[in-house]
Structure 1
């Protein structure tokens, strides 16, 4: 990773962290009685996830996490829900054991249309 790319990525990560902290401070829950709990969740989840990912070294790994965090930030703003959104997958997709390859194929086919162009086979 070049020094310039490293610096840019570092700035993006820091800006993203600040965005999450600001979101948490300004958060207004749909049900006002949940505002304090949701603000606390946002702050704790932000600190926890950024710490867990602090060990990442490659530009690709960091970029993937940044994109995930940006998506989660936008979903929280849009849906007014700070908690992760579940992804719907076909029944028996995550089954263990025999047929695991078929499960992986079903999981890949269950990606929303707007994300399929991002999937690398």
Structure 2
């Protein structure tokens, strides 16, 4: 019985890994396709924005290719999907600015406020804060 449960656990981990791998590759392909068919609001900037989309995707995906933790991978997937959807919605490939500047809460305000500031960062901006 114990051998079967170990085999089932390993099998489930492989299936999960394959599912995550499929999602990662699917997102990467969607981003590259978006980069090929991108039309900027200003036609003169179309090529520059296409280049930005492709180079940003390559850079971020290559920087995160070493990740093994499923939770971290899913966080990065969520961020990538969010950035893609926001780019399509707002018609700009560049990350949207965050209204709360970093390090505006001092330590005198307390560590709880510092934690709140750190956790309140939008999901689509986390790779810009920490590229790993």
TM-score (norm 2): 0.74
The answer to whether the 8 A contact 2:38-2:50 is kept is yes
Q: Which runs of 5+ in 1 are unaligned?
A: 113-121
Give yes or no for the alignment of 1:98 onto 2:107: yes
Higher relative contact order (CA 8 A, sep 6+): 2
How far the C-alpha of 1:106 sits from its partner, in A, is: 5.0
The answer to whether the 8 A contact 1:42-1:82 is kept is yes
Larger Rg: 2
Which secondary structure state, in structure 1, belongs to the residue aligned with residue 65 of structure 2?
coil
Kindly tell me: are residues 84 and 111 of structure 1, through their superposed partners in 2, closer, same or farther at Cα, counting changes over 3 Å? Answer: closer
The answer to whether the 8 A contact 1:27-1:35 is kept is yes
Kindly tell me: are residues 111 and 56 of structure 1, through their superposed partners in 2, closer, same or farther at Cα, counting changes over 3 Å? Answer: closer
* Between structures 1 and 2, the one with greater helix share: 2
Give yes or no for the alignment of 1:8 onto 2:12: no
TM-score (norm 1): 0.80
Aligned alpha-carbon RMSD (Å) = 2.4
Q: Which runs of 5+ in 2 are unaligned?
A: 1-11, 123-132
The answer to whether the 8 A contact 1:94-1:103 is kept is no
